[in-house]
Structure 1
Amino acid sequence: MIIGIGIDILEKKRITNINNKYGYFFEKKILNNIEINQCKNSKKKITNIAKLFSLKEAFIKSLGTGFIKNFSFKKIKIKHTKLGKPIIKKKNIKIYTSISHEKNIIIALAITKINN
């Protein structure tokens, strides 16, 4: 049973401005250590941070809960398949994801389904 669909769209400039102001503190707030390491070695660091941020937002929207107590961006772990597809794994739920970007706009989609 699908419990929710979440979509997020953002301008990369928003993440650029926040990252310029807060730098590593911002990254530590929204990314886990694996995601930080993946982004820091990339020529497209800000784009990658923005894509992860947007997908995490979409996932939270698909749950319909908002950020409840003791739940944070860092607890949402995004991995990628060998072909680059983003994956979020949580117990007893299946999350279908997609991210796309064009120059300065990033869009992310998450569909959350309870496993029966």
Structure 2
Amino acid sequence: MLWAWPAPARPTTVTLAGVLQATGKRSLGSSRRGPGSRRRVAVILGGPALFLLGRATFEYQVFSRISLSRPGGLLALLAIAPGVIFLPPVFTELGAALVLAGVAITDTRRSWGRPPEAPLPPH
């Protein structure tokens, strides 16, 4: 259903869903101790994953390319998911924050000292 929307609305909607997913994770319980459940890990890591997916879609719509840091961040989130199931949720949140920080640092290093890119839509 989302892909039936006009193209400019898709990346914003997916990014917004990621932000809402990340802020809504408090509804799963406020306990930060004990091992996390699969559901909790999916919600905690799902927000940043949706954000990266929305940002990649936006980047493609505006610049006709996707930075390697976006799929790399998604793969990193998938890679840490099995390990953090057995840890308290605070470590899941820390892992997600470190992955997003890595994506931000990579993007900053790539664009450092360069002029802003001009939009180049794919159509």
TM-score, structure 2 as length reference:
0.29
For CA contacts below 8 A with separation 6 or more, give which structure has more relative contact order: 1
The structure in which a higher percent of residues are helix is 2
TM-score, structure 1 as length reference:
0.30
Q: Which has the larger radius of gyration?
A: 2
